[in-house]
Amino acid sequence: VVAGCVAVCIEGKNILTQLKVAGSQNMPYLLSLALNNGVSMLNGQVEGAASGDATTFTSYEEVFEALRQQIHHNMYWGWRGSQIARQIDKKVNPLPWVSCLNENCIKEGLDARETADHYYPFFGCCSGIVDAADALAAIKKLVFEDKKVTMAQMVEACKANWVGYDDILIASHTVPALT
């Protein structure tokens, strides 16, 4: 049985309502955090890990590592939040109807919110992977391979949402996509 868009369920065995979701990973946003040392370019607040001053990066590998750190940070805190929510949820939102249809709940005599699901998927949804990959390709080509722009210029262009940086935006669009 497939439930929703990404959850695979084994009828009578696992409980979709207890799905461990580690938060959604918006890859372009996480890349923007990597380019700004974990600080949101949208609101100026710290929303990610301190991953270094991207304007000082001297290799593509440093950019990729900063992105990896943002993904790890976001996944961890999404997972922690889901665990806290599960603890609260089982106290305030019992599932008697789901429980009476689940083999493990019947066997253990527990509500679905209290029993361990033996077929318990854990996932974090990722969106914008293609866009982030294309942005990484542009950074790699323009900054580190062709040296047409500096990393500082690329970061400033992103912070300005490309306003006043049409030349970098056009150059970024000419880079062959990774996807």
Q: What is the pLDDT of residue 40?
A: 96
Q: State yes or no: pLDDT of 160 exceeds 60.
A: yes
Mean pLDDT within 19-39? 86
Q: Pick the residue with more confidence: 74 or 124?
A: 74
Residue 89: what pLDDT?
77
Name the one residue in this structure whose structure tokens are 């599960």. Answer: 86
What's the pLDDT score for residue 2? 42
Q: What share of the chain is helix, strand, coil (3-state, %, to 5)?
A: 50, 10, 40
pLDDT band at 68 (very low <50, low <70, confident <90, very high): very high
Q: Is the pLDDT of residue 60 over 50?
A: yes
Contact yes or no for 31/67 (Cβ under 8 A): yes
β-pair type (2-3, 25-26): unpaired
Question: What does the pLDDT read at residue 3?
Answer: 46
Question: Comparing C-alpha atoms, which of 46, 51, 9, 18 is closest to residue 34?
Answer: 51
Share of the chain above pLDDT 90, in %: 54
**70-115 pLDDT, tens digit each:** 999 998 888 787 778 777 877 888 888 888 888 888 888 988 877 7
pTM of the predicted protein model: 0.79
**Is a pLDDT exceeding 70 seen at residue 8?**
no
